[in-house]
């Protein structure tokens, strides 16, 4: 679905194009030449964005098949290296990785936190990434986590299966060892060793 839509629409401008038509020997270079400058996020220099007062809260599912999660984490690490480390980078740019979540939602993990597939009315800044971004921009309060919810059968009219804090990368949620693992309050955000 993704590759056919991308190549047919953006690269070749041919609605009849199918992913089986891809020629690896030449089409990847054609893609890079045609749309690479617009779509590739390789430049880690966000000095101008930071100086302008910009704030950024992207998210990505660890179970996403397109694009792969290391695209987001790798870029974030390059930005942190360029911008003075994780702590300085988190002053204006925080990446939230959602365990078990697929592309924009769904999957085995908690996947409702104001993201694309969360159609619930906006809630508070602790449970909605866009409300958190708004609060950060307007009030200067940066999030330290976003609580994501997983509903039974991915149906918000059914009961809550679990909640879990999404941590600003490179932190990950660690169970405290006390209380139910299905409740966000029993988890803390911690940086893994070496980060």
Q: Summarize pLDDT for 143-184 with one digit per residue, the tens.
A: 999 999 999 998 989 999 999 999 999 999 999 999 999 999
Same domain, 157 and 110: yes
User: Is residue 119 predicted with pLDDT exceeding 80?
Assistant: no
Q: Looking at residues 71-84, what average pLDDT do you find?
A: 96
Cβ-defined contacts of 190-195 (< 8 Å, 24+): 191/86, 195/86, 195/170, 195/171
Same domain, yes or no: 12 and 96: no
Least confident of 28-32, 55-59, 97-101: 28-32
d(CA 137, CA 71): 26
What pLDDT digit, counting tens, does each position of 35-44 carry?
A: 888 888 789 9
Are residues 154 and 71 part of one domain? yes
- Three-class DSSP category at 142: coil
| Partners of residue 101 on adjacent β-strands | 107
The per-residue b/e assignment along 73-111, b for 16 or more CB within 10 angstroms, e otherwise, is bebbbebbeebeebeebbebbbbbbbbbbbbbbebebbb
- Claim to verify: residue 121 and residue 27 sit in the same structural domain: no
Distance CA 13, CA 58 (A): 29
* Same-domain pairing of 11 and 93: no
* Same-domain pairing of 79 and 158: yes
Q: Which residue has the higher pLDDT, 121 or 97?
A: 97
Give residue 6's pLDDT band: very low, low, confident or very high (50, 70, 90).
Answer: confident
pLDDT band at 104 (very low <50, low <70, confident <90, very high): confident
Residue 98's pLDDT is: 96
**In contact, 184 and 163? CB cutoff 8 Å:** yes
Collapsing DSSP states into helix, strand and coil, what is residue 76? helix
Q: Are residues 74 and 170 in the same domain?
A: yes
Report the distance separating Cα 110 and Cα 99, nearest Å: 7
Judge whether 22 lies within some domain: yes
Q: What is the dihedral of CA 60, 62, 65, 70, to 10 degrees?
A: 80
129 plus 150 within the same structural domain = yes
Say yes or no: 18 and 51 in one domain: no
pLDDT grade, residue 194 (50/70/90)? confident
Q: Could you report the per-residue pLDDT of 43-65, keeping only the tens digit for each?
A: 999 999 999 999 999 999 999 98
């Amino acid at each position: 679905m993704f590759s056919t839509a991308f190549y047919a629409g953006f690269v070749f401008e041919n609605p009849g194009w199918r992913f089986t038509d891809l020629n690896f020997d030449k089409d990847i270079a054609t893609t890079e030449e045609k749309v690479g400058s617009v779509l590739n996020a390789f430049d880690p220099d966000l000095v101008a964005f930071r100086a302008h007062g910009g704030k950024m809260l992207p998210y990505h599912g660890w179970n996403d098949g397109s694009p792969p999660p290391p695209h987001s984490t790798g870029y974030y690490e390059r930005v942190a290296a360029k911008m003075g480390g994780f702590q300085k980078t988190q002053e204006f740019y925080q990446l939230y990785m959602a365990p078990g979540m697929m592309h924009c939602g769904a999957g085995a993990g908690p996947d409702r936190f104001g993201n694309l597939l969360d159609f619930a009315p906006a809630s508070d800044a602790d449970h909605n990434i866009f409300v958190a971004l708004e609060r950060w921009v307007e009030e200067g309060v940066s999030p330290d986590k976003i609580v994501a919810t997983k509903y039974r059968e991915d149906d918000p009219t059914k009961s809550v299966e679990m909640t879990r804090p999404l941590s600003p990368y490179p932190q990950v949620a660690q169970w405290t060892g006390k209380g139910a693992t299905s409740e966000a309050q029993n988890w803390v955000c911690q940086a893994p060793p070496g980060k």
